[in-house]
Structures are given as C-alpha cells and as structure tokens.
C-alpha cells in the first residue's frame, strides 16, 4: 500500500483548527479507499515558535520537509508579531526556495452557497486564478534609507524575469487548455508600469502562439475587478502577477460566498520540491479558539493535494462529500450565515465520505 508522507504545518490561529479537521478528513478518506494511507508529521512552526526562539521555523526547517510528498499548511499571523515577519519567516520561506512558482486558486459557487452577486445563481461562476508566486512585487527587492528621518526613502521593487514570466504564463495556458471553455485572461497594469508589465504582455503574446486552441484576452487589473463583478460569466482562467492575483483572489473568494471556502495550491510543477496546499484565508484571530472556523477551504485544498499526489478518485470522492455538506444549510458556519461549528461540518463530511458508494 502506498503511504504518502505529509508535512502538516498548522501555523497560527484558526490554521490549527482547520488543519486538525483536514487531517481527520484525509484519514477517513484513506480508510474508505483502502489503497493508500497517510503518514503525517506535524511541525509546530509559527508565531508561538517565533516568540520562543526568534525564528518562525528552525534553520534546518526546509531540510526537514524537503523529502515529504506534500506540505499541508494552515495559516500564519498573530496580533503581536508583525505580519511581514510571519509571512516572510514561514510561508514565503517555503514557497520561494521550493520554487513553488504556480499558485493555483480555483473559485466556484458550491451547492447551497449564495454568491453576493445578484446575477450569479451558481455554476456561472467557475474560475481558476493562476498567481505568479516566486517574483514580481513580492520578490523582496528593496530597502529603506534614512529610516525614521523626514528624508526617508523606501522601495519595494517589482522584479520580473523573462523566464519567470514565461513559465507562469505557459502554465496558465496549459491549465486553460485543460478546461472546457479554453479561455484565458492575462491581467497586467501595463499602461502605468511600462517596463516589467510591458514585457509580461509581450511574453503573453509569444506564448499564446503555442496555444492556438486557447482563446485569450488582456485586461488591466483595475478593469478586471469590475469585470469580475459585472460580467463574471465572461471569465474562466486568469493569470496575474503575485500582488494582482493576491488581491483578485480574495475578491473571487468573497464573490463565491466566503473566504472560508477558498483553497489554493502552491505548486512546483516540475516536482523537484514538495508542493504546498493551504486554504487562502489567514489565521483569523477574531474567531480563533471559538470552534467556528469554516474548514471547507481546507477540505477543498485537500482535494487539490490528492490530485497532485495522483489520487484523482479520492479527490473526486472528497469533492462530492464537500458538495453534499455545503448543500445543507444546517452545516453552514457563521461566515456563511449559519450556526454550524467546525466539528459539525467535519463530522458531516466524514459521514458523507463513509456513505459515498461511487
Ligand atoms: P483572515 O483571512 O485571517 O480573516 C479575514 C476575515 O475572514 C476575518 O473576519 C475572519 O474571521 C474571516 N475568515 C477567514 N477565514 C475564515 C474561515 N475559515 N472561517 C470563517 N471565517 C473566516 O485575514 P486578516 O484578518 O486580514 O488577517 C489575519 C492574520 O492572518 C494576519 O496576521 C495576516 O497577516 C494573516 N494572513 C495569513 C495568510 C496566510 O497564512 N496565507 C493569509 C492572509 C492573512
Ligand atoms: Mn492574500
């Protein structure tokens, strides 16, 4: 029997609650399937670890997880640790060295969930956002001089390489080709950012020539936010820079009903390093410890991990279980307007897995 070694990094706040739920659901799924199993190694890295040690993860942290089949990540962020410390110290400290350059973010209105958009009744909103995840605005290039003085100057340089842009655009075209509508929108801001973003547009046109069967268009990011609200049906696959896609995907998650259901995969498509799977949301300290975090984003994330591991049947089984549970409003957590707890949603998904006879 195949055993997948998973590095579980719950992190902070509700990250701990949703990863615990996700591990239970994955174990139930393996038990139901019978042909594979999971071995979870838990790592207590995050803000509490930082307060004890001054580091978000140990110096040899990446060594400890580089042999795992996948990384199952919760969220980081604490009220008393600066956000740039938690983000750079753990999440980006894994994504960048492991070259997880493709951040894939599916968005769909699940059964039983209502989009805040009047024009959307469900299946018309079915998008995948592909986020460049290794450079751009989050390259970490920049600095501050004369810190704290009136003449202070600070920069965050958006660094784009031809190879980095080409590989993410090619990844997005391939993904668009695999979807029924074969439609891709390339998002930039090349009217105002006239160097890197113009290069991005040029590369998009070059790569597009390799995909004559994919219909593609270009959109400025500000106009894209409008199109997502006004003409959601006109969109299928989106590719955008690190910052732009970060923002667009929170909007997408809200339009699909809640940030609490949105999943993401940080992929190293060449599989030289493990890929990392996480819900989009953060540590949500406003609701942490209350047992009401929506675990659906983490469960959906787990389906992406199963696809990546090569278990499409188990992935489909989990997605069916998720959709059976969201369809029943008595299993909606407060972010969806309901009263259900993380425990109740998790139990309902486990019961749906057990009762799935397909
Ligand atoms: P957040 O995603 O944690 O929360 C935003 C809002 O959505 C909150 O009202 C929260 O209660 C709600 N929410 C989020 N996930 C939910 C879920 N599963 N169920 C129910 N409600 C949910 O974003 P924030 O409040 O801007 O940030 C909180 C902390 O998380 C900050 O420290 C931030 O830096 C960090 N953060 C981390 C990540 C990450 O680790 N990938 C992502 C975003 C934010
Ligand atoms: Mn974000």
Residues 79, 177: one domain?
no
CATH number of the domain bearing residue 350: 3.40.718.10
What atom in ligand 1 is closest to the CA of residue 18? Answer: 18
Domain boundary among 224, 256, 288: 256
Residues 188, 272: one domain?
no
Residues with CB under 5 A from ligand 2 (ion): 246
Domain that holds residue 353: 1-101+263-358
Q: Is pLDDT above 90 for 358?
A: no
pLDDT tens digits for range 275-314: 999 999 999 999 999 999 999 999 999 999 999 999 999 9
pLDDT tens digits for range 167-213: 999 999 999 999 999 999 999 999 999 999 999 999 999 999 999 99
pLDDT band with cut points at 50, 70 and 90 for residue 66: very high
Residues 225, 282: one domain?
no
Domain boundary among 223, 256, 289: 256
Q: Is pLDDT above 90 for 123?
A: no
pLDDT tens digits for range 228-279: 999 999 999 999 999 999 999 999 999 999 999 999 999 999 999 999 999 9
| Percent of the chain's residues with pLDDT above 70 | 100
Take residue 111 and report the two structure tokens written for it.
């059964």
Pocket of ligand 1 from Cβ distances under 6 Å: 14, 75-77, 83, 91, 259-260, 278, 281-284, 286-287, 293-294, 297, 333, 335
Tell me the torsion sign for CA atoms 281, 283, 287, 293: positive
Is ipTM > 0.95 here?
yes
Residue 2 Cα to ligand 2 middle (Å): 34
Ligand nearest to the Cα of 91, by number: 1
pLDDT band with cut points at 50, 70 and 90 for residue 357: confident
pLDDT score for 124:
85
Residues 34, 88: one domain?
yes
Residues 159, 239: one domain?
yes
Ligand nearest to the Cα of 129, by number: 2
Residues 3, 55: one domain?
yes
70 with 6: CB under 8 angstroms?
Answer: yes
Residue 76 Cα to ligand 1 middle (Å): 9
Residues 178, 301: one domain?
no
What atom in ligand 1 is closest to the CA of residue 75? Answer: 40
Q: Report yes or no on 110 lying in a domain.
A: no
Between the CA of residue 82 and those of 60, 93, 158, what are the distances in Å? 23, 16, 22
Task: Give the bridge partners for 106, in sequence order.
Answer: 128
What region does 291 belong to: left with phi over 0, alpha with psi -120 to 50, or beta?
A: left
Q: Report yes or no on 207 lying in a domain.
A: yes
| Continuous segment of H or E residues that includes residue 153 | strand 153-159
Domain boundary among 197, 225, 256: 256
Other Cβ atoms less than 10 A from the Cβ of 290: the count is 13
Residues 162, 74: one domain?
no
Residues 139, 246: one domain?
yes
What pTM was estimated for this model as a whole? Answer: 0.95
Q: What total of structural domains would you count in the chain?
A: 2
Other Cβ atoms less than 10 A from the Cβ of 174: the count is 18
Question: How is residue 207 annotated by DSSP?
Answer: H
C-alpha–C-alpha distance, residues 75 and 281, integer Å: 7
What atom in ligand 1 is closest to the CA of residue 11? Answer: 40
């Amino acid at each position: 029997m195949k055993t997948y070694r998973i590095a579980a990094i719950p992190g902070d706040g509700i990250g701990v609650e949703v990863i615990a739920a996700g591990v239970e659901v994955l174990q139930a799924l393996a038990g139901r399937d019978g042909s594979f199993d999971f071995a979870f190694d838990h790592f207590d890295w995050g803000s509490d670890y930082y307060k004890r040690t001054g580091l978000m993860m140990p110096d040899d942290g990446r060594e400890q997880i580089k042999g795992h089949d996948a990384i199952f990540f919760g969220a980081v962020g604490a009220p008393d640790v600066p956000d740039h410390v938690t983000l750079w110290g753990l999440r980006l400290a894994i994504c960048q060295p492991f070259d997880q350059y493709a951040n894939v973010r599916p968005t769909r209105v699940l059964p039983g969930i209502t989009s805040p958009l009047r024009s959307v009744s469900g299946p018309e909103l079915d998008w995948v956002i592909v986020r460049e995840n290794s450079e751009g605005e989050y390259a970490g290039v920049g600095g501050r001089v004369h810190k704290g003085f009136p003449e202070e100057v600070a920069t965050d340089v958006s660094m784009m390489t031809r190879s980095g842009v080409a590989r993410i655009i090619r990844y997005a075209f391939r993904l668009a080709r695999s979807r029924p509508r074969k439609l891709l929108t390339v998002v930039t801001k090349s009217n105002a950012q006239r160097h890197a973003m113009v290069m991005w547009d040029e590369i998009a046109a070059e790569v597009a020539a390799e995909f004559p069967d994919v219909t593609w268009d270009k959109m400025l990011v500000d106009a894209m936010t409008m199109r997502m609200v006004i003409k959601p049906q006109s969109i299928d696959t989106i590719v955008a820079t690190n910052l732009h896609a970060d923002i667009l995907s929170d909007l997408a998650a809200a339009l699909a009903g809640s940030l609490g259901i949105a999943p993401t995969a940080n992929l190293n498509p060449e599989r030289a390093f493990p890929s990392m799977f996480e819900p989009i949301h953060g540590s949500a300290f406003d609701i942490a410890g209350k047992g009401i975090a929506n675990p659906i984003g983490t469960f959906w994330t787990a389906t992406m991990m199963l696809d990546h591991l090569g278990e499409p049947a188990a992935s489909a089984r989990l997605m069916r279980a998720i959709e059976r549970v969201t369809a029943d409003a008595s299993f909606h957590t407060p972010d969806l307007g309901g009263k259900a707890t993380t425990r109740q949603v998790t139990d309902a998904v486990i019961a749906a897995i057990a009762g799935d006879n397909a």
